[in-house]
Each structure stands twice: as C-alpha cells, then as structure tokens.
Amino acid sequence: MDILESIKSVLSPPHKAGYPFILGGIVLAVLGLLFWPVLTWLGLIFTLFCLYFFRDPERVLPPRAGVFVAPADGLVVSIEPAIPPVELGLGPVPRLRVAIFLSVLDVHVNRAPIAGLVTRIAYHPGKFLNAADEKASDENERNAILIRLPTGQDVVMVQIAGLIARRILCDITEGAALATGQRIGIIRFGSRTDLYLPEGTLPLVAVGQRMIGGETVIAELSPVLMPV
C-alpha cells in the first residue's frame, strides 16, 4: 500500500459501530469546555482514536475467479489443520485453518472471504485470552459463520474476541447471500479472525504475512472445484 493509499485509509469514514464512541468523545470534549479543560483534551484524543480505530476504507477485489480474499486486515499467525468450531456440527475432521491476528491499529471491519450462502451462524461464549495465542481459537468468545459455496463446499469464518476486544458484531443473518469482500461485521479493539478452507483449496499466503481485508488473495479453489 503506497503513501497516498495509506492516507486515504486513515481518513476513511468510520464504521457505524463507532458512532456511539465518537459521539461520546465529542460530548466529553464539550463538557470539558464548560467544567474542566483536561476533559476537553481527553475527549479529543479519544475521539481521534475512535475515528482511526473504526475507519472503514473501501477495498478493491482481485480480478480473479475462484479465490478467497482475506476476511480481515492483520498478520497471519498460523496456517495449519484444525477442527472447526464444534457448535457448527461439522464433525471432527480437521480442515486447513488460516488465522489472522488484528492488533488495535488494524482495520477491524470483517469481510466475506468468498461469495456464498450463509447456512449457519453460531455464537459461543468464552474467555478473552490474547488473540495471538493459539488457544484463542478454542477458548475465546467467538462467532462462527458457515458459508456454502456454489460448488457445495463449506467455508467457515470465525470472529474471535481478544484480550482487549470484548464485543463481536455480526451484521448478517442465516440465509444471507454474500458477495466476495462484502462487509459482514466488526470486532472492537483487537481480535482474531480464523478461516477454515474446504478440502482441495490451495493457500497462497505465509505465516508472518500482512493481510488487507477484501483485497489480499489468501487462497484459491482447486481447478476441479471451481464452478463452471
């Protein structure tokens, strides 16, 4: 991402989930003008932080068919076989999982990794471990989304709360038809997003690589699985 694109990203409009926090910061700043100047500075700093954290930049999809885009900005912390969340009822067979850690500085808007039909959404309460910890996938609070592809394959995307993140927001419902890169929710203040890929999918990223949600090609379907 060049300097101009970085500036545009920082100055992009906030996600609607940030409106109450931004308004709260503004109110605090105004109250400070009336009662205590320190509050004004605290309110302004908090407002600027929320404008940055909740930024929601536009993204450009890759001009390729049969690919999965990153469901979130962040750092790939693991690529390995893992059993999908039990609440989805997919059985004990491991699938290739790509885990992305989002720091407090990353864009936290989640996006659909590929076009498909949402067949199930399952929320699971849990702990608030550091989202970079490998145990976070199994033990932390999470929201699992099952997406059925036109090929009949299933894809699992999981929104996972972290040490600071305590609120998972999901803007879609079961039965929704998703487009690749579509905004589907947000996780507030540091988190993790796991993507369980269908059998035969070819990963195209590596551990330690930075993702741009809705743009980075994270994997592609095997040619035999691509819809005709």
Which residues does 98 contact at the CB level (< 8 Å), separation at least 6? 76, 78, 79, 194, 195, 197, 203, 205, 218, 219
Name the strand (E) or helix (H) holding 220. strand 217-220
Closest CA to 173 of 110, 122, 115: 122
Which residues belong to the active site? 191
Closest CA to 197 of 156, 227, 158: 156
**What is the three-class DSSP state of 192?**
strand
Helices 37-53/19-34 angle, 10° precision: 170
**What whole-number distance in Å separates Cα of residue 120 and Cα of residue 8?**
35
DSSP-assigned states of every residue in 60-118? ---S-SSEEEPSSSEEEEEEEEEPPPGGG---S--EEEEEEEE-TTS--EEE-SS-EEE
- Phi then psi for residue 45, to 5 deg, are -65, -45
